[in-house]
Amino acid sequence: MLEKGVKAPNFELNATPDQKIKLKDFLGKNVILAFYPADWSPVCSDQMALYNEMLKYFTKHDAQIFGVSVDSVWCHLAFEKDRKLHFPLLADFEPKGAVSKAYGVYDEKLGESKRALFVIDKEGKIVWSYLSPTAVNPGADGILEALEALDKK
């Protein structure tokens, strides 16, 4: 898993069938990457719902959050609509798990992303990362602490 001080690998993933998100387009803004195993699973559903509720706090710290899993863009769109999410979920679908692998958080045995969080600063460096047990919602405290530390820089 990539750790603090490492330049975040750039990527380009679909947020919708016709919209791609490039990490490099967010230089100058803090970015939160929330890798998770699968849409619709109970822990993932709770985790993404929590981040949806935390959006105003993330925005206060000039941060954009993205959920990332190996599910397809169509699965993400249905999940976003059902859960009323207001942030993009990115499809690390084909080549399967390529971005998760680049960040060191792909579970080869299960064929899905591990539950991992990254906070990336405005220069594109990872300032905080956390690997959570799959069955545990990592919450938002670590993300907020990392963003608050960036505000003090």
State pLDDT tens for residues 7-18: 999 999 999 999
Name the catalytic one among 31, 44, 85, 127. 44
pLDDT of residue 153: 76
Q: Is the pTM of this model over 0.75?
A: yes
Residue 118 has pLDDT above 80, yes or no: yes
Task: Write the CATH number of the domain with boundaries 12-16+27-151.
Answer: 3.40.30.10
Scan for tokens 């906070």, then name that residue: 119
Question: Does residue 75 carry a catalytic annotation?
Answer: no
- State the Cα–Cα distance between residues 153 and 138, nearest whole angstrom: 25
- What average pLDDT does the structure give for the chain? 97
Number of neighbouring beta carbons within 10 Å of residue 144: 18
Q: What are phi and psi of 73, to 5 degrees?
A: -60, -35
Residue extents of the structural domains in the chain: 12-16+27-151
Average pLDDT over residues 16-36: 97
Q: What are phi and psi of 127, to 5 degrees?
A: -110, -15
20-34 residues labelled b (16+ CB within 10 A) or e (exposed): ebebeebeeebbbbb
2 residue type, one letter:
L
Average pLDDT over residues 131-148: 96
The answer to whether 47 touches 36, Cβ cutoff 8 Å, is yes
DSSP per residue, 85-118: --S-EEE-TTTTTHHHHHTT-EETTTTEE--EEE
pLDDT of residue 102: 98
pLDDT tens digit sequence for 46-92: 999 999 999 999 999 999 999 999 999 999 999 999 999 999 999 99
